[in-house]
Amino acid sequence: MLKAARELLAVRSPLDAELMVSDMLGAWWGKRLRRGDVEQILGEGLVDYAAKAGSPAALSLLVAVAYLGTSRQAAKAEGAALALMESGVARPRWADWVGAVKPSACYVSRDAYGDQDQVVCTFSYNPEADPEGEQHALVVLVDYNKHGTARDVWVSSHVDKLLEQARQEAEGNPLLRFEEIEPKQARALLESAMKATAEHRSPQVTESYSAYHAFARARIKALPPGRKRPAPLFTEGPYSRDRRAMLAAEFLASPEAESLSDPSAASRCADHIIDYGCDEDFNRPLRISPLKSETFLLDWLPRKVMLSPAEQEAIPHVLAAWVRWAQRRIKLPEEGLKATLDAVWEATGKFAEAYRDPTTFGLERSLVERLLPDGDLSALARRAFAFPLLQGRHGTVDLDGLDPAKDADRRILLELDHVHERHREDLDEHLAWHEEIAARLWEGDPPELWEAAQRLLDLGHDRHEVLHILIEIVERIGDDPEELASALDDLAELPDEWPPAFGR
């Protein structure tokens, strides 16, 4: 990287210099190291290395990192850059201009569905530092179908052309809006979106996102603070259980729902639609769009919800009725209604293939319902792993009568799973740790626990070995969620010192 930084010596524009270094800092964005923080080890390590090099290229890099880096990187880079300049190292011609920008105006282009916002923030360099006042625009795409994450970022120096094109695309298009917003609103919106991307375990971003990430982070800080994040379109505040029930009742009593042949199944399907809109879409159960409908039918339902055969049959028809009913409420243009219904019917043909009913795998529905009292289909595998003894008889115990969702029954199930260890002096303590792991697997807390278990199972380790190493990690780390998640992420195989003292 220090060799690549030599190119900065030939750069005249501060914008070009900032973009080049942002690209360099993006080389490790989103990466994780097994031991330690990647920004500290690589980012701060680069700053330390450049400071020791003491060359003009190193100084150029430090000047840019002082503006574009994380707070720790920036502080270290600024101190190192000042020391090099005091020692007489030549600084680049653009050094005084880096970060000397002021926001001009901010805009948002949003579709009428509420799927996404494209935020455009324009900046110009301080006229005193840059007489030419080079203007540029930061563009960030915020995707509400992906939990409000920032999914794409880019920069344009053709600001007038960019804004004119956005206005023309919105003109006469009832499904697109383009409007100016306050810079304070833009900052709140973008900070929230960038944070959502950073916190997501596997954000779906474009290939260029990492290259512009540091630049975008720095430019957002140049916007004035002080405003709450503007709510996405159609947000109607929190939905309590009573409010959700009232909304379902209104829908089921509407003309759009009259043609639904199975009222009971329709009611349960309406609950799923409302829960998805509230829990996964920023409290927007009434929001409808082609992409949201496809995601609901082909991604969320197959992963998350245990549907009865009647619900499997009814859900596409209930969703189509919901789309027609919600369209009247939110006044989506007719073009949007037609496109959404087309998407529902197109997805309907794929739904049967996407939704894999667990009972088709040979599992009895009564067993599945005991493991999924909350209907969370994604929990089936990890809960079956935690409680493999759920059917038949074990001595005098009727396993079919035990409920793994109840603490007392869980203890009995785990005791039966350890009948071969009744001689252990520490059996009560050992079972207590198994209860801890079983409870965590049941809830999926943290998600890394089941992911680590699957990796070990894939390596050929048996279930009991896997449970014991998970216990060892949880016991050693304690209640620190970040440390626990990191330790579980690092777990790729059983350690050399296996088994631990408490083991078999």
Model confidence pLDDT, tens digit, residues 436-476: 999 999 999 999 999 999 988 888 888 989 999 999 999 98
pLDDT at 422: 74
Instruction: Tell whether 196 and 133 lie within a shared domain.
Output: yes
Residues 404-428 have a mean pLDDT of 86
Could you tell me if residue 178 is inside a domain? yes
Phi first, then psi: give them for residue 145, nearest 5 degrees: -80, -10
Instruction: Tell whether 393 and 348 lie within a shared domain.
Output: no
Could you tell me if residue 174 is inside a domain? yes
Residues 240-269 have a mean pLDDT of 96
Distance CA 290, CA 343 (A): 5
Q: Does position 270 have pLDDT exceeding 90, yes or no? A: yes
With beta carbons less than 8 A apart as the criterion, state whether 475 and 407 touch.
no
Q: What is the Cβ-side half-sphere exposure of residue 448, based on CA atoms within 13 angstroms?
A: 17
pLDDT at 230: 74
Instruction: Tell whether 67 and 110 lie within a shared domain.
Output: no
Q: How would residue 493 be classed by pLDDT, with cut points 50, 70 and 90?
A: low
Instruction: Tell whether 201 and 290 lie within a shared domain.
Output: no
Q: Does position 249 have pLDDT exceeding 70, yes or no? A: yes
| Tally of residues, the chain | 504
Residues 244-270 have a mean pLDDT of 96
Q: Does position 415 have pLDDT exceeding 60, yes or no? A: yes
Percent of the chain exceeding pLDDT 90 equals 71
Give Cβ neighbours of residue 6 (< 8 Å, ≥ 6 apart).
57
Instruction: Tell whether 22 and 60 lie within a shared domain.
Output: yes
Q: Does position 9 have pLDDT exceeding 50, yes or no? A: yes
Q: Which residue has the tokens 């916007």?
A: 223
Distance CA 259, CA 263 (A): 10
With beta carbons less than 8 A apart as the criterion, state whether 124 and 14 touch.
no
Distance CA 197, CA 205 (A): 8
Residues 327-338 have a mean pLDDT of 96
Pick from 352, 363, 335: nearest CA to 176: 335
Instruction: Tell whether 260 and 167 lie within a shared domain.
Output: no
Distance CA 385, CA 461 (A): 13
Q: Which helix (H) or strand (E) holds 414?
A: helix 407-416
Q: How would residue 484 be classed by pLDDT, with cut points 50, 70 and 90?
A: confident
Q: Does position 63 have pLDDT exceeding 60, yes or no? A: yes
Could you tell me if residue 503 is inside a domain? no
Could you tell me if residue 497 is inside a domain? no
Could you tell me if residue 500 is inside a domain? no
Distance CA 151, CA 294 (A): 19
Distance (Å) of CA 24 to CA 12, 117, 136: 18, 27, 20
DSSP code of 290? H
pLDDT at 313: 95
Residues 420-436 have a mean pLDDT of 85
Instruction: Tell whether 19 and 53 lie within a shared domain.
Output: yes
42-56, 164-178, 380-394, range with the lowest pLDDT:
380-394
Distance CA 297, CA 293 (A): 6
Residues 68-81 have a mean pLDDT of 97
**Last residue of some domain: 340, 356, 372?**
356
114 C-beta neighbours (distance < 10 Å), count: 23
Distance CA 39, CA 113 (A): 37
pLDDT at 119: 97
Phi first, then psi: give them for residue 31, nearest 5 degrees: -85, 160
**Last residue of some domain: 221, 252, 275?**
221
pTM: 0.82
443: tokens are 């809830």
Q: How would residue 492 be classed by pLDDT, with cut points 50, 70 and 90?
A: low
441: tokens are 């697997």
How many structural domains compose the chain? 4
Instruction: Tell whether 396 and 469 lie within a shared domain.
Output: yes
Pick from 361, 380, 353: nearest CA to 298: 353
Instruction: Tell whether 14 and 51 lie within a shared domain.
Output: yes
Instruction: Tell whether 245 and 273 lie within a shared domain.
Output: yes
Distance CA 166, CA 179 (A): 10
pLDDT in tens, 198-241: 988 789 999 999 999 999 999 999 999 977 777 788 888 889 99
Could you tell me if residue 368 is inside a domain? no
> Strand ranges (DSSP E) for 35-186?
101-111, 116-125, 135-143, 149-156, 176-181
With beta carbons less than 8 A apart as the criterion, state whether 196 and 149 touch.
yes
Q: How would residue 504 be classed by pLDDT, with cut points 50, 70 and 90?
A: very low
Instruction: Tell whether 294 and 336 lie within a shared domain.
Output: yes
**Last residue of some domain: 62, 86, 110?**
86
pLDDT at 503: 45
Distance CA 498, CA 490 (A): 16
Distance CA 264, CA 32 (A): 48
pLDDT at 418: 84
Could you tell me if residue 370 is inside a domain? no
Distance CA 152, CA 37 (A): 24
Instruction: Tell whether 82 and 105 lie within a shared domain.
Output: no
Could you tell me if residue 337 is inside a domain? yes
Look at residue 138 and give its three-state secondary structure: strand
Task: Provide long-range contacts, Cβ within 8 A and 24+ apart, for 370-379.
Answer: 370/403, 370/404, 370/405, 371/404, 372/306, 373/405, 375/305, 375/306, 376/304, 376/305, 376/306, 377/302, 377/303, 377/304, 377/305, 377/306, 378/303, 378/304, 378/444, 379/442, 379/444
Cβ burial, residue 56 (10 Å; 0-12/13-18/19+): middle
| Stronger pLDDT, 93 or 81, i.e. the higher one | 81
Q: Domain containing 449: what range?
A: 385-490
Q: Does position 297 have pLDDT exceeding 90, yes or no? A: yes
